[in-house]
Chain A
Amino acid sequence: GENVEQHPSTLSVQEGDSAVIKCTYSDSASNYFPWYKQELGKGPQLIIDIRSNVGEKKDQRIAVTLNKTAKHFSLHITETQPEDSAVYFCAANIQGAQKLVFGQGTRLTINP
């Protein structure tokens, strides 16, 4: 079945620097790749997503890139701020359908 690998598991960056989180997936039929941010005690919140007909998508300080050939996608956060500290999850849909498989998460810490 689909397997989503996420790296790194923890990431610490200085405020103002950039952060990059990478994911790989195994199902070549996957065509939807969302990223979620989870703060302590809350549910995952969608921050950005990308579909297989697009290679890159940006929303202010957040961007996601997708390489379908290599089966990997990445989250880029620029000009990081303390409120960016959270756990981030990538996901991919199975067989191009609704079911999502999630990566193991990356705990991002922004140091002031």
Chain B
Amino acid sequence: DAGVIQSPRHEVTEMGQEVTLRCKPISGHNSLFWYRQTMMRGLELLIYFNNNVPIDDSGMPEDRFSAKMPNASFSTLKIQPSEPRDSAVYFCASSFKGGANTQYFGPGTRLTVL
């Protein structure tokens, strides 16, 4: 079983550049979650989808952040333009809604904005 796959694992970019993070959920899962982890704020939910539809984006920090899920096996989180304060580890997690609802996390993308 492949688990949740995220790419890239590390991203270093300059302020003002566009950043796109990618996630492939576990096959058969119908819910997908994007989290951000920082020392100051801990692990916080940004947005989640059910059956490819965004359900709650109240955690998205501002309009510079956007997320899409064009199909059941792929999601992106985009930051445009990026700022140094966006530096963090971004995790994707997936679960099967209607089952145990257990969330399984990917390995994360460490983003550094210079």
Residues of A within 8 A of B55 (CB): 98
Q: Are B108 and A100 in contact (CB under 8 A)?
A: no
Give chain B nearest CB distance to A43 CB in angstroms: 4
Question: Which of B31, B93, B102, B105 contacts A49, CB < 8 Å?
Answer: B102
- Which residues of chain A have a CB within 8 Å of any CB of chain B? 32, 34, 36, 42-46, 49, 89, 93, 98-105
**B15 → chain A closest CB, angstroms:** 25
Contact digits for B93-114, partner A, Cβ 8 Å, 1 yes 0 no: 1010100111111111000000
Q: Contact check, A43 vs B91: say whether CB atoms are below 8 A apart.
A: yes
Contacts of B106 in A (CB 8 A): 43
Residues B102 and A99 in contact, CB atoms below 8 Å apart: no
Q: Which among B42, B95, B97, B108 has the greatest number of chain A C-beta atoms within 10 A?
A: B42
Contact A102 B91 (CB under 8 A): no
Q: Are B91 and A105 in contact (CB under 8 A)?
A: no
Measured between C-beta atoms, what is the minimum distance from A49 to chain B in Å? 7
Instruction: Give the size category of B's interface with A.
Output: 20 to 34
Give residues in B with beta carbon < 8 Å to A: 4, 31, 42-45, 48, 50, 55-56, 91, 93, 95, 97, 100-108
What is the CA–CA distance of A101 and B45 in the complex, to the nearest angstrom? Answer: 8
* B81–chain A nearest beta-carbon distance, Å: 27
Contacts of A98 in B (CB 8 A): 31, 48, 50, 55, 95, 97, 101
Query: How far, in Å, is A105 (CB) from chain B's closest CB?
Result: 6
- Kindly list chain A residues whose C-beta atoms are within 8 Å of the C-beta of B91: 43-44
* A102 cross-chain contacts in B, Cβ below 8 A: 42-44
Question: Residues of B contacting A44 with CB < 8 Å?
Answer: 43, 91, 105
